[in-house]
Amino acid sequence: MSIGIPENIIPLDSILPDEPLLMMGAGPVPIPPRVAAANSIVINHLGDTLARVIEQVKAMSRYVFQTESMHILGVAGPGSAAMEMAVVNLVKPGSKVLSICNGFFSQRLAEMAERVEGDVLRMQVPEGEGVSPGEVEKLIKQYQPDIITIVQGETSNTVHNRALPEIGVLAKKYGCMVIVDAVCTLSTMPLDMDDWGIDAVITGGQKGLSSIPGVSLVAFSDQAWKAIEERQDRLRHWCLDAKLADQFWYKKSYHYTAPVSGILAMHEALRLICKETLPRRFERHSSCSQALQAGIEAMGLSLFVEPCARLNSVVGINLPENINSLQLLKTMSQRYRVEISGSFGPPIVRIGQMGEQCRSHNLFRTLHALGASLGSLNYGVDLPVGMAELERRLDSYER
């Protein structure tokens, strides 16, 4: 025993703020009390109790993904692990992959496909735009991909690929499969996996679903599952092998120790979505996000993406000249206890509108913190006009 006990370790209470910060960034998002309570419980990972929970998680997921698929799997890991699970099980060495790239996360899907030796063609979509189905069709004809990857909502630059249903139709027409990253969008806006002909949909816990980070879901279509079952080569990834995960999720046997607390949390998050219903949830998200956008603009700031390609789930605000992003975020966090996100890429700051973030009391506090912080950094905004516009827009939604 030559390594001593570390000195100066202080209890968590002394590290965390007295009052939790309001998490209004690009995730993780606030979780409902029911989800937090479920997350504090540990149960047997193989017993009948968890088996009943898993049955309900799968049933509720089918509603949330809008699919009849019996191939929805949970993953102990971040949204990226679910992305990787979809990619490594469907992309074989030499598979031709068309990666539609209009942001950081679509590039991540492309990189994952390259790492398993897919033959990847990156289609670069101009910054701030959604992909055009006509351009995709041209490339499909030229390149004849086996698989297309696309992100529904690019959290990184707040672009929404509105043409997703058309991309699904094109993929079926030309016989390729489509992998969709819906980490920030699932349950915040429509995504009809079966009707749109999508073969794999990925989501994380900590964004649209308003659960905890670290437990994610991936849904495979029957066609995708057939491709997985027919694969002859041995997957290089053991934890992410869908056939091994199927042992736990459908055959009640052991793959690895499931993240039981996280699955319980996911159960509660899904149950709250089912209780709210998807149509009402979509309506809440679009109304809240649009009210927030209107408030931001009325205050005198501008939004990064034009309305035709603008994502509602995460709002990107152009950083005013002479304002340092880190300083703005620090002021909002320290003075007003509101956290929003900076950017990796364009000069924007981002406010999330996912799950519990879309509540009017959170919107008022966030918009006020943004305007007041800019004011204290000597950038003039019309805060009262912005707040009044937010109130007017929310009021007309709630009536």
Ligand X SMILES: *Cc1c(COP(=O)(O)O)cnc(C)c1O
User: Does residue 80 touch ligand X according to CB under 6 A?
Assistant: yes
Among residues 79, 118, 145, 352, which is the contact residue for ligand X, using CB under 6 A? Answer: 79
Helix (H, G, I), strand (E, B), or coil: what is residue 98? strand
Structure token pair of residue 30: 């606030």
Question: Which listed range, 126-134, 137-145, 177-185, 252-260, lies at the site for ligand X (CB under 6 A)?
Answer: 177-185
Among residues 50, 86, 150, 151, which is the contact residue for ligand X, using CB under 6 A? Answer: 151
User: Does residue 259 touch ligand X according to CB under 6 A?
Assistant: no
Among residues 60, 183, 215, 273, which is the contact residue for ligand X, using CB under 6 A? Answer: 183
Q: Where do we find the tokens 């995708």?
A: 224
Determine contact, residues 354/188, Cβ cutoff 8 Å. yes
Structure token pair of residue 244: 């091994």
For residues 201 and 394, which CB has a smaller minimum distance to ligand X in the complex? Answer: 201
CA distance 228 to 245: 12
For residues 79 and 386, which CB has a smaller minimum distance to ligand X in the complex? Answer: 79
What contacts 264, CB < 8 A, 6 or more positions away? Answer: 38, 39, 41, 43, 53
Question: Which listed range, 76-84, 166-174, 249-257, 360-368, lies at the site for ligand X (CB under 6 A)?
Answer: 76-84
Instruction: Label the pairing between strands 159-160 and 153-154.
Output: antiparallel
How many CA atoms lie within 13 Å of 303's alpha carbon, on the beta-carbon side? Answer: 23
- C-beta of 343: minimal distance to ligand X in Å? 13
Peptide bond preceding 347: is omega within 30 degrees of 0, i.e. cis?
A: no
Q: Interhelix angle for 242-251 vs 79-90, to 10°?
A: 110
CA distance 1 to 27: 41
CA distance 317 to 158: 9
Question: Which listed range, 63-71, 176-184, 193-201, 374-382, lies at the site for ligand X (CB under 6 A)?
Answer: 176-184
- C-beta of 205: minimal distance to ligand X in Å? 8
For residues 67 and 155, which CB has a smaller minimum distance to ligand X in the complex? Answer: 155
What contacts 68, CB < 8 A, 6 or more positions away? Answer: 62, 194
Determine contact, residues 274/61, Cβ cutoff 8 Å. no
- C-beta of 320: minimal distance to ligand X in Å? 25
For residues 186 and 278, which CB has a smaller minimum distance to ligand X in the complex? Answer: 186
CA distances in angstroms from 390 to 293, 313, 339, listed in the order given:
8, 17, 19
- C-beta of 353: minimal distance to ligand X in Å? 12
CA distance 206 to 78: 9
Determine contact, residues 185/150, Cβ cutoff 8 Å. no
Q: By CB under 6 A, how many residues form the interface with ligand X?
A: 13
User: Does residue 105 touch ligand X according to CB under 6 A?
Assistant: yes
For residues 109 and 177, which CB has a smaller minimum distance to ligand X in the complex? Answer: 109
Determine contact, residues 386/363, Cβ cutoff 8 Å. no
- C-beta of 352: minimal distance to ligand X in Å? 9
User: Does residue 181 touch ligand X according to CB under 6 A?
Assistant: yes
- C-beta of 40: minimal distance to ligand X in Å? 21
User: Does residue 342 touch ligand X according to CB under 6 A?
Assistant: no
- Other beta carbons less than 10 A from residue 163's beta carbon: 20
User: Does residue 78 touch ligand X according to CB under 6 A?
Assistant: yes
User: Does residue 184 touch ligand X according to CB under 6 A?
Assistant: yes
User: Does residue 155 touch ligand X according to CB under 6 A?
Assistant: yes
Among residues 204, 295, 352, 355, which is the contact residue for ligand X, using CB under 6 A? Answer: 204
- C-beta of 105: minimal distance to ligand X in Å? 4
| Residue nearest to ligand X according to CB distances in the complex | 79
For residues 281 and 393, which CB has a smaller minimum distance to ligand X in the complex? Answer: 281
User: Does residue 215 touch ligand X according to CB under 6 A?
Assistant: no
Binding site for ligand X (CB under 6 A): 27, 78-80, 105, 151, 155, 181, 183-184, 204, 207, 213
